[in-house]
Amino acid sequence: MDLLFLFEWIDTSMLAELSKAYGGVFAVVQTFHLGAMVLLGGMILVGDLRLLNIVMADVPAHVVLKNTERWVGYALIVVIFSGIFMMSAVAIKLYYNMFFLSKMVGLFMGVSFFYFIRKPLLNTDHSDLSPWSIKIVAIASILIWFSVAASGRWIGFS
């Protein structure tokens, strides 16, 4: 399915007019995007490193996950909204950018993995799960979010 029409629509929207006309606003929104990525990355990483027994090994995993999951949600909201604003400034260019596509696929995978696999799976009693499955979930989560962050950074270089 060709999504060019969607990018063309965003490119001519009021949001795009704002993001293209005011470089300062764009830069501030970009800062929020980066800040939210830091929050998202930190919360995901603390949870995943706990599942790998690397940090906070003496705090029950479900306590760590319960505390971090809420903040992942907050960070995702800021990341997505600020991301849409930033995207509107260069929508057509991004349509043809492979790193942007890679980031979007990664983001979709990351959000789906978080809400439909990691969260429901780890909300059950961990003693019912094989320690290896828990570790695989944590490694997969780190790799997915690493790909999102890395491809996001490389959009700027391409």
Partner 1 sequence: MLNQLLFDLALWLDAQQWSTDLHESYYVYNWVESTHVLTLMIFLGMLVVIDLRMLGYIFKDVPVSKVAERLDKPMMFGFSVMFVTGFLLYYAIPVRTTTSIWFRIKVVLLIAAGINALLLRNITKQENLSWDNDPVPPKRIRISAGLSIAFWAGVIMTGRMIAYDWWDCHKAMPGFMYWAAGCVNELAELD
Min dist. Cβ of residue 40 to partner 1 (A): 8
Q: Return d(Cα 37, Cα 75) in angstroms, integer.
A: 7
Which amino acid makes up residue 153?
A: R
Among 20, 113, 146, 147, interactor with partner 1 by CB under 8 A? 146
Q: In degrees, to the nearest 5, what angle opens at C-alpha 114 toward C-alphas 109 and 115?
A: 105
Q: Return d(Cα 156, Cα 33) in angstroms, integer.
A: 14
Which region among 35-43, 90-98, 119-127, 128-136 touches partner 1 (by CB under 8 A)? Answer: 35-43
* Sites for partner 1 among residues 37-96 (CB under 8 A): 37-39, 41-43, 45-46, 49, 54-59, 63-64, 67-68, 71
- In Å, the largest CA–CA distance within the chain is 55
- Helices and strands (DSSP H and E) totals, the chain: 8, 0
Residues that bind partner 1 (CB under 8 A): 23, 27-28, 30-31, 34-35, 37-39, 41-43, 45-46, 49, 54-59, 63-64, 67-68, 71, 146, 149-150, 153-154, 157
